[in-house]
Amino acid sequence: MTIFETIVIAIVEGLTEFLPVSSTGHMIITQNLLGVESTEFVKAFTFIIQFGAILSVVVLYWKRFFQLNRTPAPEGASPLKRFLHKYDFYWKLFVAFIPAAVLGLLFSDAIDAMLESVAVVAAMLVLGGIFMLFCDKIFNKGSEDTPFTEKRAFMVGLFQCISMIPGVSRSMATIVGGMSQGLTRKAAAEFSFFLAVPTMFGATLYKVYKILKTGGMEMIMDNMTTLIVGNAVAFIVAMLAIKGFIKYVQKYGFKAFGWYRIIVGGLILAMMAAGFDLQIM
Sign of the four-CA dihedral 148, 154, 157, 162? negative
Give the burial class of 76: count Cβ atoms within 10 A of its Cβ; 0-12 exposed, 13-18 middle, 19 or more buried: exposed
Average pLDDT, stretch 212-232?
88
pLDDT tens, residue by residue, 127-175:
999 999 988 888 877 777 888 899 999 999 999 999 888 888 889 999 9
Number of Cβ atoms within 10 Å of the Cβ of 166: 24
Mean pLDDT score of the chain: 87
Number of Cβ atoms within 10 Å of the Cβ of 271: 14
Cα gap 201→48, rounded to integer Å: 9
Give me the pLDDT at residue 9, please: 94
Report whether pLDDT(120) > 50.
yes
Average pLDDT, stretch 167-189?
90
pLDDT tens, residue by residue, 18-58:
899 888 778 877 887 888 887 888 888 888 898 899 999 99
Q: Is the pLDDT higher at 245 or at 275?
A: 245
Give me the pLDDT at residue 116, please: 66
Cα gap 149→275, rounded to integer Å: 50
Cα gap 132→134, rounded to integer Å: 5
Mapped onto helix, strand or coil, the DSSP state of residue 146 is coil
Report whether pLDDT(191) > 90.
yes
- 3-8 — which CB contacts under 8 Å span 24+ positions? 3/226, 3/229, 5/34, 5/36, 6/45, 6/226, 6/229, 6/230, 6/233, 7/229, 7/230, 7/233, 8/34
